Amino acid sequence: MSSTLINSNQISALILAGGRAQRMDGCDKGLVSLHGQPMICHVIDTLKPQLELIRINANRNQSAYAALAQDLEETDKVTRGIPGYEVVGDNLQDFQGPLAGIAAGLQQCPTEWMLIAPCDTPFLPANLVERLRQAAEREQAEIVVAHDGKRLQPVVALLQRRLLPSLLGYLEQGERKIDRWYAKHQCRPVDFSDQPEAFLNINTLTEKQLLENQVV
């Protein structure tokens, strides 16, 4: 186990944008425009006040993500004075699922803990990192996962970098189920039932359009 206290500088984020997005008619979810900007930018805008280091897991359109990252970096040099957003691709071929992206992120993770969040959940809580961090401290857990009051949100989680060997071994066995891997470790849910709408994810272009048509 790591020490009881977890400082914010021990945490970096990985935004998962590496899937096929088949239900999105093959469009790259992170780059799909929502309210005038790429969907991944909504996630970044939420995480930026919470963490300094944010990386992007992408397997398609990496040049587009790199260009987006460069633009964000130029802005952040002015507003925050810190470096920008590295794009990390899966080491496994053929879109092996979120665990492949998590493994790639952990292999290059510069911090003891890594937050994961999906690119298609644009309304994440403004206190996401703090609540997950506190739960990890309180529970002495290796993984803490957001729970919206009805269901677990397995790709909104905080996990220890030292779990990488376990994850690589799991993947080498041909396993891909994220919940089964979590069950092998000290994994605890974190209650976010006070803001379940924060975990709304957009899977289709129709859902995106309906959301944009709503009066905000």
Residue 48, domain CATH: 3.90.550.10
In a domain, 2, yes or no: no
In a domain, 201, yes or no: yes
In a domain, 5, yes or no: no
User: Judging by beta carbons within 10 Å of its beta carbon (0-12, 13-18, 19+), is residue 4 exposed, middle or buried?
Assistant: exposed
pTM for this one? 0.90
Per-residue confidence at 46, pLDDT binned at 50, 70, 90? very high
Look up the domain containing 79 and give its range.
Answer: 10-213
Per-residue confidence at 20, pLDDT binned at 50, 70, 90? low
Annotated binding-site positions for GTP: 16-18, 29, 57, 90, 120
Annotated binding-site positions for Mg(2+): 120
Annotated binding-site positions: 16-18, 29, 57, 90, 120
The SS3 call for residue 20 is: coil
- Total of domains in the chain: 1
Report the pLDDT value the prediction gives residue 77, as an integer from 0 to 100: 59
* Amino acid letter for position 113: W
In a domain, 3, yes or no: no
Predicted confidence (pLDDT) per residue in 72-104, tens digit: 777 765 555 445 688 998 888 777 789 999 999
In a domain, 145, yes or no: yes
Report the pLDDT value the prediction gives residue 93, as an integer from 0 to 100: 78
